[in-house]
Structure 1
Amino acid sequence: MDGSLLTLIDLPDEVLLLILKNLDNIEVLYLIIDLNKRFNKLVHDSIFTNHLTMIRCSSNGSFDRLDEQIHDRFCSQILPSIHHNIKWLDVECSSMEDVLLCTSYPNLSGLGLHNIEKNIALCLFTDETPLTHIFQDKISSLVIDVVECESS
């Protein structure tokens, strides 16, 4: 060995894709999108953008929203740049409106709503809300994880 250092940038695209496919899509997009033209092209591939889980599962099994900095960057930059590729989104109740209203999702057909209270879920499908058009026109598969309200 000549002592040279092989960096991530030196790897062929096929090897990079094998590595990146084993990582969380949200982390891959957050860390690599807009890094350079080559990496940007790789992470715009449908394997990273078709199904996005915009939540974290905690050790006790509950769903939490993404870190604020990650969430904000996704809503302001990343989602608008990949919106046409997204077919399924998993979102947590407290970030649902931010994520769903930050851009249009012309190919969105599946949605997972997590940590949502029953009364909020009912309003989404019975009242006129900014999200109503998404549910009426696009979604063919819907998963709702309803949480019970804690009584005081």
Structure 2
Amino acid sequence: MCHVDVLYSLIDVNQRLNTIVHDPIFTTHLTLLEHFSDGSIHSLTDTMLDQFCLQILPKIKHKIKCLDLEPLSMERILLATNYPSLYGLTLYNINLRTCVHYFFDKNPLTDLFQNQIVSLTINMTVNTKPDFEDLINTFIFQRIIQIFINLQYLNFFPSSIWYSKVSFDSLARDFASSNLLELHVTVNNFDDCLYLLDGRFIELRKFHVNIADICSAQLTINNTENLPNLKCFSLYSNVETSAYDELIVPLLHRMINLEELGLYVKICDKNIFIDGHDLKKNIINKL
């Protein structure tokens, strides 16, 4: 039985059960949606949604710290009561139209939570052409940074790397945050990765990036200044690259206080095998 089912079934049944279900283990983090075996996500049934919005959520509102939501019921749940302790949101199956509505249009939800949300995860769905979607995703990414001024954790991840990437080629690059500590994002190319590490997120501690294409940089971007605050770095790319020595190694040398490293890349046109010894000699020993 998941936490939501426990609350739905047992709250207000009797005093003893009521004490149990009000425990923080059942009320701190609520997943108010349904996961199916095929991977799809749907809203709760109307009956469950009614009971949560009208009865359960108002009673436990002070204990709720994180909510996992989907777009069909998201607004109703967030407006059902006030959430004074809420700091984390995970939004599943969010399409571009929904993002534009909540992050660009005048909306009571952003006004209510822009100072409150510290952790935000957004799972984007695919519904437009890749090139157009990249551009819109980038505007949404920037808008999120601008709206949620106290954001410390952002996970902006796609349902497919080929459709929901962030790219800075055609966007003003003057957005920044001095609060963001951890970032998970999918970008179009290595230049975009360098833009995110050019000082705009000066307090960034953990950076997990999925890069669609790692090729020789076409733009002049700083890849030499040290990144002393970065403690954890993970890079994933499923496309072969011959720019390991040219791009990846110099970037890693900037991370002088790195404690955790994850590299998941396909390297071609290199005569030696990159193993633990090579990483220690050419990267770890130079940090």
- Report the TM-score when normalising by structure 1: 0.80
Aligned-residue Cα RMSD (Å) equals 1.4
Q: Which residue of 2 aligns with 1:34?
A: 12
Where is the helix percentage greater, Structure 1 or Structure 2? 1
Aligned counterparts, 1:41-52, within 5 A:
41-52=19-30
* Count of aligned pairs between the two proteins: 129
Alpha-carbon deviations, 1:5-55, whole Å to 9, x = none? xxxxxxxxxxxxxxxxxx300000000000011111111110000000001
From 119, 136, 148, the counterpart of 2:114: 136
Q: Any unmatched runs of 5+ in structure 1?
A: 1-22
When residues 51 and 131 of structure 1 are mapped into structure 2, their CA distance, relative to the original with a 3 A threshold, is same
Alpha-carbon deviations, 1:37-78, whole Å to 9, x = none? 111111111000000000111121121111111111000000
Q: Structure 2: how far apart are the matches of 1:128 and 1:150?
A: 24
Q: Structure 2: how far apart are the matches of 1:106 and 1:133?
A: 14
Q: Which residue of 1 aligns with 2:71?
A: 93
Measured after TM superposition, the shift of residue 150 of structure 1 is: 7.0
Segments of 4+ in structure 1 off by > 4 A? none
Deviates more, 1:59-68 or 1:28-37: 59-68
Higher RCO by CA contacts (8 Å cutoff, separation 6 or greater): 1
Structure with greater Cα Rg: 2
Structure 1 counterpart of 2:45, one-letter code = D
Q: Structure 2: how far apart are the matches of 1:113 and 1:96?
A: 8
Aligned counterparts, 1:61-76, within 5 A:
61-76=39-54
Structure 2 counterpart of 1:35, one-letter code = V
Structure 2 counterpart of 1:92, one-letter code = E
Q: Any unmatched runs of 5+ in structure 2?
A: 130-287
